[in-house]
Structure 1
Amino acid sequence: MLLLNNDLLPAATLPLPNRGLAFGDGFFETLVFTSGRLHLTSDHHARMQQAAAALYLKLPEALATAEALGATMARLVAANDLTAARLRLQLWRAGGGRYTPLTDTAEWLATAEAFVPDDAPIASIDFAQETHSVYSPLSFCKGPQAWLYVRAAHERQQRGLDEIILCDTSGHVAEAGAAAIFWVKNGVLFTPSLHSGCVAGVRRAQVLRAARAAGVECAEGLFRQAALRAADAVFTANVAAIRCVHRLGEVAFKESLPPFLTAAQTDEQW
């Protein structure tokens, strides 16, 4: 079962014209539902509001508040008889037209599949050679620049890596191919700033909150590859999992997560 504009259906056909297909005029969210609730709901909704504003869209009523988002996704999970679900919520501008928008109304589709967590360590990671992150007014949200991650995933696969790291065109570390990237050096937690072109991940925000609550010094900025290579420990974080990185090229790291993350993963914020 899926939700198309809040109608619960076994399948759906999307009519043309479709501005999401024609112009990428929209965005998406990947969400996780377990233990009877949607996780990081407020963070997801805040990013959706920001993305909608950047694209001059109005969120539909069923998604207009964090509470509505949670209830709507819970309805979809229940309809699919799932106890743990990975959800994809796609929004696009309604109507036709060319580049100039004719409406701020958004249509949307939500789908659900079983969620199987994978927090296994990342054995091998390296820097992308063919694709760079691109900072833009929309790089913080998911969807408008998805082609970057498709290209990066193709390179990762061709090189036999477990994960890949994108840098911006100046060589600053931005993010992993499917997650935010963090590293620890001398007790300080580092992560690239949004000006690197990385996605403003909901788990990224939660990790930073948890670190600051634990009194850990955090540094967000533009960092060269050498800073990451010199780290004591490295990990990635997305809505699905937090994963240690064992090796970057020939450089090996500590194989344990910072202590504050153990508490954060059982905290109500998650």
Structure 2
Amino acid sequence: MINFNGELLFKENVQLSINNRGFKYGDGVFETIKVLNNKVVFWEDHYFRLMASMRMLRMKIPMEFTLEFLENEILKTIDTQNKSSIFRVRLNVYRKDGGLYTPKTNKIDYLIEVSESNYEMKNTYQIDVFKDFYNYSGLLSTVKTNNRMVNTLASIFANENELDNCILLNERKGVVEVTNGNIFIVKGNVIKTPALTEGCIKGIVRKKVIEIILKNKEFTIEETAISPFEVQKADEVFITNAIMGIQPITNYKKKTFTTELGKKLNNSLKILQIAGN
């Protein structure tokens, strides 16, 4: 079942018009959310990021769009699915139909899709750099809009070259993120991740991992610019997103990385997910 503006519908009964602004102009934002044992993981963080994104895009936030309301809508949709302990939820918000570049209204529609999630950490995970197009730095790039063309092309490139993922670069040729998440590199006791000013998504799990590292006196964390050369020289590299949690990278070009820290951090993250913090 699909939740369309609060109404539960079978997929075949969901009808979006040819004037849908998410389709025509990418005029929408979305959150990808993990639900574990009927608990919406890191929900407050997702909710406040969604609200900030809608405000940035000048969407009119409905009065009923409270933290509790949207959480209940997610769980209501999950109740219609086959029994499972882990779900992947996509909450899409887009401006209502009408207008050309200038919309007729800033009011919104929303759609909630749910599917079972069975991601397991891979023992080998190979990445390379995608150089054909840049993910331009700037505040808008930190928002999860429907416009994900660079991510799509990089994913096609990865598939054609038998890679698991690709690193995206900005116009300064600095590392931004991977196609579906944030990236961290480890060198000695220093852990680096691209700063938001580099153009990376303001990832929820990125934030949680930074919080975990800050509590660990053994390591220091830096949000900074990172070059592809630094990735190749790193001791360890891992990527993060809401569904996979943490996935260690084993291979980048001819370099092989260790995976010990990434696995330890993933165990700490799992504890947070269960606790709901």
TM over 0.5: yes
**1:21 deviation in Å?**
1.4
Residues in 2 aligned to 1:138 and 1:154: alpha-carbon distance in whole angstroms: 24
Partner of 2:193: 191
> What is the Cα-based RMSD across aligned positions, in Å?
1.7
Partner of 1:113: 115
Partner of 1:244: 248
Task: Map 1:31-110 to 2 at 5 A.
Answer: 31-61=33-63, 64-83=65-84, 84-110=86-112
Query: Is 2:98–2:105's contact at 8 Å kept on the other side of the alignment?
Result: no
Amino acid at match of 1:4: F
Amino acid at match of 1:32: K
How many pairs does the alignment contain? 269
Unaligned ranges ≥5, structure 2 = none
Percent identical pairs in the alignment equals: 25
1:266 aligns with 2:264: no
Amino acid at match of 2:22: G
User: Bigger shift: 48-57 or 259-268?
Assistant: 259-268
Query: Is 1:41–1:69's contact at 8 Å kept on the other side of the alignment?
Result: no
Partner of 2:234: 231
Partner of 1:5: 5
Deviation string 1:29-74 (CA, Å, 9 cap, x unpaired) is 1111111211111111121011101110123455x23322222111
Task: Map 1:83-162 to 2 at 5 A.
Answer: 83=84, 84-162=86-164
**1:152 deviation in Å?**
0.4
**1:269 deviation in Å?**
4.5
Query: Is 1:54–1:137's contact at 8 Å kept on the other side of the alignment?
Result: no
In the superposition, relative to structure 1, how do residues 58 and 119 fare at CA in structure 2: closer, same or farther (>3 Å)?
A: farther
Helix, strand or coil at the partner of 1:81: coil
Residues in 2 aligned to 1:197 and 1:225: alpha-carbon distance in whole angstroms: 15
Query: Is 1:163–1:177's contact at 8 Å kept on the other side of the alignment?
Result: yes
**1:122 deviation in Å?**
4.2
Q: TM-score, normalised by structure 1?
A: 0.93
Partner of 2:224: 221
Q: TM-score, normalised by structure 2?
A: 0.91
Deviation string 1:229-259 (CA, Å, 9 cap, x unpaired) is 1111111110111111111111111122343
